[in-house]
């Protein structure tokens, strides 16, 4: 569908689809729009398919056939001919990091595919020279294994670039950081500094620091660096407004969950500013970050004070994000058994716990009554089991909690998701989640644990509610890449209808807005997208090439390709 056809349809199709010869076409004259000649997949089980949809203001007032739409539309209705295009409800991406993905506080990007860490130096040196006034040189994108495979200390490599200006680089998954000596000095980190909860300061064989900060050890340093200033806030705001929100609209995403709202960095205030200034073009639920090293009583009180659930607002602060564990490739996911390699020479070698079972249960107990739902990161089978245990211990029917990532799930835990009403939030947009990559973790946890990585089919067969999300910018933002992978990842593949449901009505449920959006039904708000190809008819391996031609939010066009 060419973009110009929409405008022409508004001007011309009104006459061809209505027998009132005296009528003139004008969008201004009518608040009623008739989208017709479409293939509308509603995600409504009682009426899966339709040809036409009538929108009045921000509401859907009719779903059905072209003929019925023509018969009930008012005489001044504007007609939009979609020329047989597929229409879906607006996409819900309930796990992403849009401010972090858009932030202008990071000044350079490294290539995660680079295996020789020495080859990073020219990019870092260039960033240092072109940013002479930057108090901290922040970068992003390297591979953890590139640092491990380096022939000399990663700390020495950065110190060769500068020992007078602090350099801090976030690994491409955000679960580790690479720092030079000046950065460690300013943070007060030395070889005798105890590891923080959920984190590790990596060391050389002689006990000296090697510049790699694992999980929360790096998070805490970044929190110090990005303590809010007028500049850091403006960098986040402008990046999200001018890049992040544009990307969301372009990809048909009308509802999101910010999966890590750093309230100490004033991220929640940036979201509020966007809404107050009329620049927020997405429905958003913020997941306030639970800092692992904070005193629980004072942190819970702060989180409760930030709760906001205005039904008339696009923006709601009604979720809490916390981590149970780390990630598999750094051996920090919480596993039932020890890893087969030992990177850290710590007393235990079965992963980290940011929040243990009892702390998670306590947060659920105190925050669920406020109205918060918890969004809990758990990748390893032990982390997942302990999280389910915590929800079983403290959760009530009021909660709509979810566990995200779910890479290594015990068979015995699959049924517990439905039993406890816990949503299984999974990401399969990244190539690393495809079956051909599962064996890459054999050397870490053994092949017996890598047979069903991210078991979305098994979860659905166990009657779990499944959502699919991007984890942007760890993985591709395009939801159709995620759908393609979901339907092709044999043996853990699902149907296209199940994948669409996971990106729409199931996402609406975890955002507590399934009565308003997530499916196309009379009485719901008009959030929908128009696609450039029929994903129901093409080969599954071509679904990821789908593009969004039109994104409509609250009845208004917010993107046109």
For the chain, residues with pLDDT lower than 50 are 1-28
Asked whether the beta carbons of 52 and 75 are under 8 A apart, the reply is no
- Position 15 scores a pLDDT of 33
- Position 223 scores a pLDDT of 95
Phi and psi at residue 206, to the nearest 5°: -85, 5
Asked whether the beta carbons of 74 and 30 are under 8 A apart, the reply is yes
- Position 22 scores a pLDDT of 34
- Position 12 scores a pLDDT of 35
- Position 31 scores a pLDDT of 85
Query: Domain-by-domain residue ranges, the chain?
Result: 3-84, 106-225, 255-264+280-519
How far apart CA 504 and CA 48 sit, in angstroms, is 14
How far apart CA 428 and CA 476 sit, in angstroms, is 9
Helix residue ranges, H only, 420-556? 442-445, 456-461, 479-488, 496-503, 505-510
How far apart CA 257 and CA 325 sit, in angstroms, is 20
How far apart CA 171 and CA 322 sit, in angstroms, is 19
How far apart CA 92 and CA 510 sit, in angstroms, is 10
How far apart CA 15 and CA 189 sit, in angstroms, is 73
Tell me the CATH architecture of domain 3-84: Roll (2.30)
Domain 106-225 fold: Diaminopimelate Epimerase; Chain A, domain 1 (3.10.310)
Distances (CA, A) of 171 to 110, 112, 240, 470: 9, 8, 21, 18
DSSP-derived 3-state class of residue 252? coil
Considering the entire predicted model, what is its pTM? 0.93
- Position 155 scores a pLDDT of 97
How far apart CA 231 and CA 228 sit, in angstroms, is 8
Q: Give me the helix-helix angle, 381-394 and 357-367, nearest 10°.
A: 40
Q: What is 255-264+280-519's CATH superfamily?
A: Metal-dependent hydrolases (3.20.20.140)
Q: How far is CA 528 from the centre of its chain?
A: 19
Asked whether the beta carbons of 32 and 495 are under 8 A apart, the reply is no
């Amino acid at each position: 569908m060419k973009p110009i056809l929409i405008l022409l349809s508004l001007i011309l199709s009104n006459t061809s689809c209505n027998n009132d010869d005296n009528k003139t076409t004008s969008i201004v004259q009518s608040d009623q729009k008739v989208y017709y000649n479409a293939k509308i997949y509603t995600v409504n089980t009682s009426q899966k398919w339709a040809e036409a949809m009538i929108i009045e203001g921000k509401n859907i007032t009719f779903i059905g056939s072209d003929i019925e739409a023509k018969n009930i539309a008012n005489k001044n209705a504007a007609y939009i001919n979609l020329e047989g295009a597929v229409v879906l409800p607006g996409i819900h991406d309930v796990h992403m990091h849009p401010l972090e993905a858009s932030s202008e506080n990071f000044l350079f990007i490294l290539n995660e595919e680079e295996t020789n860490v020495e080859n990073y130096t020219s990019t870092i040196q260039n960033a240092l020279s072109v940013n002479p006034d930057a108090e901290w040189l922040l970068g992003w994108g390297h591979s953890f294994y590139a640092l491990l495979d380096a022939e000399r200390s990663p700390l020495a490599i950065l110190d060769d670039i500068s020992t007078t200006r602090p350099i801090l680089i976030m690994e491409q998954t955000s679960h580790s950081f690479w720092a030079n000596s000046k950065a460690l000095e300013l943070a007060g980190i030395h070889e005798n500094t105890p590891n923080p909860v959920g984190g590790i300061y990596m060391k050389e064989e002689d006990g000296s620091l090697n510049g790699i900060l694992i999980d929360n050890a790096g998070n805490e340093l970044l929190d110090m660096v990005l303590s809010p200033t007028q500049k850091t806030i403006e960098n986040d705001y402008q990046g999200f407004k001018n890049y992040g929100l544009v990307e969301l609209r372009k990809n048909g995403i009308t509802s999101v969950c910010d999966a890590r709202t750093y309230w100490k960095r004033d991220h929640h205030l940036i979201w509020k500013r966007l809404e107050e200034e009329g620049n927020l073009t997405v429905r958003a639920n913020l997941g306030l970050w639970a800092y692992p090293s904070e005193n629980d009583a004072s942190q819970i009180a702060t989180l409760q004070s930030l709760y906001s659930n205005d039904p008339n607002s696009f923006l709601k602060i009604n979720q809490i994000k916390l981590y149970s564990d780390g990630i598999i490739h750094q051996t920090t996911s919480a596993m039932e058994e020890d890893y087969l390699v030992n990177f850290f020479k710590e007393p235990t070698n079965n992963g980290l716990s940011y929040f243990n079972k009892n702390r998670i249960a306590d947060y659920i107990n105190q925050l669920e009554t406020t109205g918060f739902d918890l969004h809990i990161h758990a990748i390893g089978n032990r982390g997942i089991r302990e999280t389910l245990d915590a929800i079983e211990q403290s959760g009530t029917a009021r909660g709509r909690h979810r566990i995200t990532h779910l890479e290594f799930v015990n068979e015995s835990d699959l049924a517990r998701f439905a039993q406890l009403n816990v949503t299984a939030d999974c990401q399969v947009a990244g190539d690393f989640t495809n079956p051909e990559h599962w064996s890459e973790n054999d050397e870490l946890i053994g092949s017996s644990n890598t047979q069903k990585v991210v078991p979305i089919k098994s979860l659905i067969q166990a009657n779990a509610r499944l959502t699919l999300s991007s984890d942007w910018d760890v993985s591709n933002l395009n939801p159709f890449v995620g759908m393609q992978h979901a339907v092709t990842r044999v043996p853990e593949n699902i149907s296209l209808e199940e994948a669409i449901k996971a990106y729409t009505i199931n996402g609406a449920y975890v955002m507590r807005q399934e009565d308003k959006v997530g499916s196309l039904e009379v009485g719901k708000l008009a959030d929908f997208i128009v696609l450039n190809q029929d994903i129901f008819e093409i080969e599954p391996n071509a679904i990821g090439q789908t593009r969004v031609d039109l994104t409509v939010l609250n009845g208004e066009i917010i993107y046109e390709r």
